């Protein structure tokens, strides 16, 4: 009890507020660093995938590029078909879908 008589209430309040702020800042840093690390890891993995496709040579990724282009073409035609259904007079391409 002799130890508690020498402690000022202002010092005790400052220590308590400091400990609470340290815990709050620690939790924010913990979750913030996890989110930052996950985001950077996602971009790094995408960059690694892109460089491994390019580094594989022309033969190994040519089929993948062809599949991606075919899928993009199909998506573009589907988008045009949806646009033509809303306004058939928008372009000449819509005449193909009108018949």
**For position 97, what pLDDT does the model report?**
61
Task: Report yes or no on whether pTM surpasses 0.75.
Answer: no
- Placement of tokens 């000449």 in the chain: 92
**For position 77, what pLDDT does the model report?**
83
Residues 47 and 79 in one domain: no
Find the domain containing 85 and state its range.
Answer: 58-99
Residues 46 and 77 in one domain: no
**If DSSP codes are grouped into helix, strand and coil, which group holds residue 82?**
helix
pLDDT > 60? residue 1: no
Residues 34 and 71 in one domain: no
Domain count, the chain: 2
User: How many residues make up the chain in this entry?
Assistant: 99
Residues 28 and 64 in one domain: no
Render pLDDT for 45-62 as a digit per residue (tens, 0 to 9): 988 887 777 776 666 677
Render pLDDT for 60-84 as a digit per residue (tens, 0 to 9): 677 778 888 999 999 988 887 777 7
């Amino acid at each position: 009890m002799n130890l508690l008589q020498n402690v000022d209430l202002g010092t005790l309040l400052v220590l308590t507020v400091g400990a609470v702020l340290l815990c709050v800042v620690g939790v924010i840093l913990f979750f913030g660093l996890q989110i930052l690390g996950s985001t950077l890891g996602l971009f790094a993995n995408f960059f690694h995938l892109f460089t491994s496709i390019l580094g594989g040579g022309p033969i190994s990724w040519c089929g993948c590029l062809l599949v991606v282009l075919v899928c993009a073409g199909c998506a573009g035609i589907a988008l045009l078909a949806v646009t033509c259904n809303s306004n058939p007079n928008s372009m000449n391409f819509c005449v193909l879908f009108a018949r």
